[in-house]
Amino acid sequence: MINRKWLIAVLTGVVVVGSAFNYAYKDKLYEISKNIEIFINVYKELNANYVDDIDPTQLMSVGLDAMVGSLDPYTNYISESEVTSYRISTDGKYQGIGAIVSKIDDYVTIVEPYADSPVLEVGLKAGDQIIAIEGMSTKGKTRDEVTQIYRGVPGTNVNLTIQRPGESLPFDVDLVREEVDIPNVPYSGWVDPDVAYVSLTTFTMGASKNIRQAIRNMRNENPNMKGIILDLRYNGGGLLAEAIKVSNIFIPKGQEVVSVKSKVRERDVSYSTQDLPVTDDMPLVVLINKNSASASEIVSGTIQDYDRGVLMGQRSYGKGLVQNTTQVGYQSQVKLTTSKYYIPSGRCIQSVEYKDGEPVDIPDSKRAKFKTKGGRTVLDGGGVSPDVFLKPIEKSDYLKALEQSHIIFKFVTDYMQSAEYQDTLLEEVVFEDYEDFKAYVRNTRFDFESSQEKLLKNLQSDLDDQYDDTIKKDLESLVSKISSYDDRAIEIYKEDIIDRIELEIATRLRFQEGKIYQSLEDDSEIVEAVSLLKDNDRYNQILRPQ
């Protein structure tokens, strides 16, 4: 009798819960249907009666962007015209001319060709301006507008009209579009006789394979290798599968790397390493900064959770979300967040607060504590914190202004026409013609005004009659002193400017490989990493439980 009453009660509860769920589900469907109808009616009314002509595609795009933009920064509507750019970010390939371009003055300009690219095959180089495509002028067009025109099906031709600095007449080239591969491991080599270095710029297809091969080659070259630096700075992430495989290079087979959890529990899944590592005991330093995100954080966080290596640099970006892309018709897509990922300690590194689409720094006091395999305390939320914090390298206002005005880029473009450098050897570039650069800057009439000078001038203009002349004269004197300092900035920041010029020259000579090789020479964070790898006591102390 008791069992019967109990069974009736349970069944009644199930019916009540089921009915409540059914009503809630129907209510939600009604709300969706109602609001879609309202949206369509507003759209029709605007299109029919608004005083000016409306571009229906643009209007709908604004509505779609606003809808997905109310969620998180990673849920996006990808229109048909944006699909190519999205593909580049996920698989590292695109159909195009094989160069980084930027709008400089009136025209889109080739800034950095890729090695073995179509632009190099027809003799184009950094500094060349694309002034027309298929006879159509590109003057005033944005970078995106120009790239949309010249991208297309591999094997097809596109005619470019080029204006080369230093030459009076433009010339035409017929360029064959190709499937362009963007290197994910543009450089690997030695930063010390016994310390190997690998740069990983993106987690596209083949990233793990390329790192494995690079490390094996260096171990064969030097069996006494004492440590590895894996550089994930400025690496914005990429494919989850590649993140797992890259972790597996350093983590033994059968170890969990990441688990993915969503509101649909049937979709929850855990991923573990499947292969034997290349090395699971050699000292390892992973470099990260605020631009290391997503897959970079999976790898760095996993290495930290297993106490496999030391993280060095600054706290990472804080993206612990997984996106899937779905076709929504007419070659358009929606990329939406479907789950969060959790690394081996159980923590999620996702930032929970955003401002203007960027993560807001979360103080350590508000971040939950977890433990690494060896018992060290680590925190969740807001990215991965390094084991060794390094103060970020900041550019001076003067150098930033030179770069924003493209003065260094333009100078090197002119300079390379007569400079004598070996363009076939990977070696450090040395620039010794600084007086030439100073003369070039004078001729451009570059007018630098620091942020401090601007601030004081604004303060000057805001002073009213309630302040006496003494205060005004003191402020005027201070403005004059800072202005004098700004005039001397080209000498004050001489070494930084020379480093930047040398980096630009190295990029012209050997593309991404040359750029990274040159940057290593003056990289204080690399120096710190090498120092740590050569100090076993300090390295082991960092990885011990506190």
Residues annotated as catalytic are 294, 305, 319
Instruction: Please give the Cα distance from 96 to 110 (Å, whole number).
Output: 13
Tokens 């060709």 — which residue?
113
From residue 230, how far is each of 147, 197, 202, 227, 288 by CA, in Å? 33, 6, 13, 10, 9
Cα angle at 98 between 94 and 104, to 5 degrees?
A: 115
Instruction: Please give the Cα distance from 190 to 4 (Å, whole number).
Output: 77
List, in sequence order, every residue forming a beta bridge with 32; answer none if it has no partner: none
Label residue 200 exposed, middle or buried (CB < 10 Å: 0-12, 13-18, 19+).
buried
Q: Spell out the SS3 assignment of 216-250.
A: HHHHHHCCCCCEEEEECCCCCCECHHHHHHHHHCC
Reading the block at residue 112, the tokens are 């950095």
Cβ pair 506, 431 in contact under 8 A: no
E strand intervals along 144-283: 157-163, 171-176, 178-181, 187-192, 195-199, 227-231, 256-261, 269-272
Label residue 332 exposed, middle or buried (CB < 10 Å: 0-12, 13-18, 19+).
middle
Q: Spell out the SS3 assignment of 373-425.
A: CCCCEEECCCCCCCCEECCCCCCCHHHHHHHHCCHHHHHHHHHCCCCCCCCCC
Reading the block at residue 12, the tokens are 């009644």
Instruction: Please give the Cα distance from 53 to 46 (Å, whole number).
Output: 10
Phi, psi values for residue 332, rounded to 5°: -90, 160
Instruction: Please give the Cα distance from 56 to 48 (Å, whole number).
Output: 11
Single-letter amino acid, residue 543: L
Cβ pair 348, 322 in contact under 8 A: no
Label residue 343 exposed, middle or buried (CB < 10 Å: 0-12, 13-18, 19+).
buried
Cβ pair 282, 303 in contact under 8 A: no
Handedness of CA 379, 384, 388, 389 (dihedral sign): negative
Instruction: Please give the Cα distance from 300 to 87 (Å, whole number).
Output: 25
Instruction: Please give the Cα distance from 137 to 318 (Å, whole number).
Output: 42
